[in-house]
Structure 1
Amino acid sequence: MATAVNLEPTSDAEEIAALIARSRSAQAQIAHYSQAQVDNLIRAMVWAVAKPEVAEMIARHTVEETQLGNYEGKYLKIFRKTRATLMDIIDDKSVGVIEEDRERNLIKIAKPVGVIGALSPSTNPEATPVIKAIAAVKGRNSIIVAPHPRAKLTNKLICDLMREAIVKMGAPADIVIGIDTPTVEKTNELMRQCDRILATGGAAMVTAAYSSGTPALGVGAGNAVVTVDETADLDDAAEKIRLSKTLDLAASCSADNAVILVDAIHDTMLAKLVAKGGLVLDNAQKAKLQQVIWVDGHINAKVVAQTPKFIADVAGFAIPEGTQFFIVPETGAGPDHPFSGEKMTVTMALYRARDIDEAIALTNRIQAYQGQGHSCGIYSRSDANIMKLAEGTNTSRVMVNQPQSASNSGNLWNGMRQTFSLGCGSWGGNGTNNNITWRDLINETWVSKPLAVPKILPSDEVLFGDVIAKLG
């Protein structure tokens, strides 16, 4: 009597190994694609999810599944952010010779990495898989996306739409694969078995990425601090802070977590923030809000990216109709002052500073607790103050007169690279400061030819100068 053979994977490691094998086979089929083939692929992948009626459907589906953020914010990300990201990279040369340095007689050739293992968070599950996928495919890689379990159906929906479009373009569907039933164990296996990790998620998952033994591009914690100085256009600043704080109900780690107002404009600017829907909490309300945002020292998932009314109801205090965000007066920073850290809610800590110098010192104190290396911002018309803040803070990005959450990952009004993966440098425990895109997902071969005229080593007098006299 014949014995039935179980052909299903018997472990997480085997299941992921099977996905890796499929992904690697697909990647081999596009490894020598031309630039035109690559660019048509990523155009198709974005159009499949971002055409208006589909974007609307995805936005509603994402909110229904995750219960995070709002439709307007999700729609902007899937409809506009994906288009902007495509526009940002579509004219980049990513195949063959991508750079020539004639002075040094160097030629740089782009080559794929292989299989990219990508992590997608529950807070941005609508656009993250798309943006990471087109960055991977731009470099002629394949990608496997591991979603947060809270967003697994959204991830499947988006990956399936991209896969259908890829097949219609004549390429193998498996250059994009989503993990349909995600677990921490499967995600860890993906990170161990892929060729490069593109990690966006909680601190624990990013740490796991760096510990996997696979080259990883991770991101640091967000805790944006924004300064408004005495030269700022206060009406413009108030509206942009409101927009940044409320976009997708603060699902983004780039939302303004702390705002510093200098003395000269403090009262006037605070009044403008209140007029924009900000509610200044008293000490009793602050204490109640603290109890619901943090539970056992961790952010309470129940209130992340929820409306002000929902949060206030959970906290047990009433708020006026029209409240869009909470303003919590704060003076300290660190674990004894939790509002100085990331909040993932429509809540901003409000600080007062004498001048730009105190604002810089305060920014560094706040971000030494959380968010160092990520980003900060300033509303100012003073180039001196802008540059002083940039030079005096441990940050990778300084956004000037722009809504932080909509700007530091790139937007149409600035020159930042479009991404959802923000490197935070050594300050944030990352290997890069830049906005991560396709250029981080390729290997490069450098071709070095002899210089037409060899360099000449200068004399000791020229090279060492007056150091010789000082040292003898």
Structure 2
Amino acid sequence: MTDNLKEMMEKARAAQKIVEFWPQDKVDEMILAVGWECYKRETAEKAARMAVDETGLGVYEDKVVKHMKKTLGVVRDLQGVKTVGVIEDDPKLGLKKIAKPVGVIGAITPMTNSSSTMPCNGLPILKTRNAVIFAPHPKAKNTCEFICNEMRKGLKKVGAPEDLVQNIKEPSMEASQDLMGMVDLVLATGGAGVVKVAYSSGKPAYGVGAGNATIIVDESANLEETAVKIHKGKVFDNATSCSAENNVIIHESIFDALLAGLKGQGGYLVTGEDRAKLKQAMWPDGSHLSGKIVCKSVKVIAAEAGISVPDGTTFLMVLGEHIGPEDMFSAEKLSPVVTLWKYQDFDKAVQMVIEITAFSGYGHSCGIHSTNEAHIMELATKAKVSRMMVRQSQSYGNSGDWVNGMPFTMTLGCGTWGGNITSENVTWKHFLNVTWVSYPIPAVIPDPEVLFAEHFKKYGK
């Protein structure tokens, strides 16, 4: 625990006390002010440039789009949401629910999505009248500082205490750990290491799991549209998103046609000796991704692997050989590289999704390109994932998109499968305490003869 963090906590608690009983309209005014400062194109462009320059990850143009879209989506999702006073009233049950803030939240943010994560976390935290202290990845501290200052501008504009938003200026794992031990709730968006620390902090925590989005394409899919969507989801921001397509399982009757479609989108199939070279470059020790290829361009990855790819290549493809550690191409790749698999029977495809995600990305997500509702529901019923996209780009859809109903966020819970407490997209409702107020109602006592009637009929008393 450092004196600096103690001071930050004191400021945060004082600021949070000021807004604790603010009315809804004043809270909403604050959200619009902070949201606008984050959303503005000049903010997004500067943040994107800083993020690419200091982390070396992703694509500037894509980061601008991502920052603006996610910020606007979060503001839209928060509009009209009641987070003050009575948020639910059920006269029949005599119940009222009163929304109350958590207090001070420590938000650990990653280097992969260093600018867009902050408004996605910060706006719902403010909407619920909490204060937030951001602890960024050390390689993303300048981007964090910039966005925090923009958020504070919005707070100041409407007379809200600026210390509702603060950030650690010289981040480290030690500083993050100290912060976690001081706040009321931890929100950890990042790698497995920081999530594990969050869950060991002794404080309530929301964490995320690793991604490894695995997609089925069946015979009913529109192959032209599917190729476009897979390409978009795979290459966006050099696959900085944990939701990017990692494995595509294709019915054998359409495999060649879809492969041709993916090649038409800039995909290049890496085979033979080059596949082995690519694997060695990506997992030099056989199990851990190399930082030299994570979220890098195809050009950088090919050079690192010592392989040649045609001009115009936008992503690399390999054929899956085995599921599990003997073939790491079945794991999350965090790069514009996708693994293609072939299946004959749909139940086998579902089983492959189960096995691949159990090995890597347990609980995160899967998808399907199909118009066969029976296939869609079979995968949805059997796959152990928290979200499943139907006929969508995975990395666009998982965390909220204009063309689906998923809540906008950058923090994706993976359920108990992924070692998380929630399987939802983390948003405003996760930053509230709720008091249940119970009034007396006329007694509702069941008749055991009626309640157990079906059991008695079949098995007797």
* Same fold, TM-score > 0.5, yes or no: yes
Question: How far off its partner does 1:334 sit?
Answer: 1.1
Contact kept? 1:200, 1:421, Cα under 8 Å = yes
Matched, 1:109 2:87: no
Matched, 1:247 2:236: yes
Structure 1 window deviating more from structure 2 (101-110 vs 271-280): it is 101-110
Question: How far off its partner does 1:469 sit?
Answer: 5.7
CA–CA distance in 1 between the matches of 2:264 and 2:92? Answer: 57
1:297-346 C-alpha deviation (Å, 9 max, x unpaired): 22111211111011101110111011011111013111111111111000
Contact kept? 1:424, 1:430, Cα under 8 Å = yes
- Which residue is equivalent to 2:82? 93
- Which residue is equivalent to 1:389? 379
CA–CA distance in 2 between the matches of 1:102 and 1:467? Answer: 34
Question: How far off its partner does 1:250 sit?
Answer: 0.2
Pick closer, same or farther for the CA change 1:372–1:471 going to 2, 3 Å: farther
> Share of identical aligned residues, percent?
43
- Which residue is equivalent to 1:300? 290
Which of 325, 346, 361 aligns to 2:336? It is 346
- Name the SS for the 1:264 alignment partner: coil
- Which residue is equivalent to 2:362? 372
- Which residue is equivalent to 1:38? 27
CA–CA distance in 1 between the matches of 2:278 and 2:450? Answer: 67
Contact kept? 1:101, 1:107, Cα under 8 Å = yes
CA–CA distance in 1 between the matches of 2:266 and 2:433? Answer: 48
Which structure 1 segments of 5+ residues have no match? 1-11
Structure 1 window deviating more from structure 2 (12-21 vs 318-327): it is 12-21
Aligned residues: CA RMSD: 1.3
- Which residue is equivalent to 1:169? 158
1:117-141 C-alpha deviation (Å, 9 max, x unpaired): 0011000011111111111101000
Matched, 1:405 2:395: yes
Contact kept? 1:375, 1:397, Cα under 8 Å = yes
- Which residue is equivalent to 2:299? 309
1:415-466 C-alpha deviation (Å, 9 max, x unpaired): 1111111111111111111111010001000111122x42121223542533
Q: Which amino acid aligns with 1:446?
A: W
Structure 1 window deviating more from structure 2 (94-103 vs 432-441): it is 94-103
- Which residue is equivalent to 1:273? 262
Q: Which amino acid aligns with 1:319?
A: V
Matched, 1:428 2:435: no
1:117-168 C-alpha deviation (Å, 9 max, x unpaired): 0011000011111111111101000000000011000000110111122112
Q: Which amino acid aligns with 1:351?
A: W
TM norm structure 1: 0.95
- Which residue is equivalent to 1:3? none
- Name the SS for the 2:333 alignment partner: coil
Question: How far off its partner does 1:66 sit?
Answer: 1.1
Which of 334, 337, 346 aligns to 2:324? It is 334
CA–CA distance in 2 between the matches of 1:467 and 1:280? Answer: 63
- Which residue is equivalent to 1:259? 248
Which structure 2 segments of 5+ residues have no match? none
CA–CA distance in 2 between the matches of 1:459 and 1:49? Answer: 58
CA–CA distance in 1 between the matches of 2:327 and 2:165? Answer: 43
Matched, 1:195 2:184: yes
- Name the SS for the 2:105 alignment partner: strand
CA–CA distance in 1 between the matches of 2:236 and 2:455? Answer: 57
Contact kept? 1:263, 1:355, Cα under 8 Å = no
Q: Which amino acid aligns with 1:350?
A: L
- Which residue is equivalent to 1:8? none
- Which residue is equivalent to 2:111? 122
Contact kept? 1:356, 1:389, Cα under 8 Å = no
1:360-390 C-alpha deviation (Å, 9 max, x unpaired): 0000110110111111000001111100110
- Name the SS for the 1:374 alignment partner: strand
Which of 206, 209, 222 aligns to 1:217? It is 206
Q: Which amino acid aligns with 1:95?
A: V
Q: How many residues align?
A: 460
TM norm structure 2: 0.97
Q: Which amino acid aligns with 2:151?
A: M
Question: How far off its partner does 1:467 sit?
Answer: 4.9
Contact kept? 1:325, 1:346, Cα under 8 Å = yes
Contact kept? 1:68, 1:123, Cα under 8 Å = yes
What are the residue-to-residue correspondences of 1:434-445 with 2, within 5 Å?
434-445=424-435
- Which residue is equivalent to 1:151? 140
Pick closer, same or farther for the CA change 1:314–1:414 going to 2, 3 Å: same
CA–CA distance in 1 between the matches of 2:91 and 2:330? Answer: 49
1:83-138 C-alpha deviation (Å, 9 max, x unpaired): 11110112111111111233322111100000000011000011111111111101
- Name the SS for the 2:15 alignment partner: helix
- Which residue is equivalent to 1:6? none
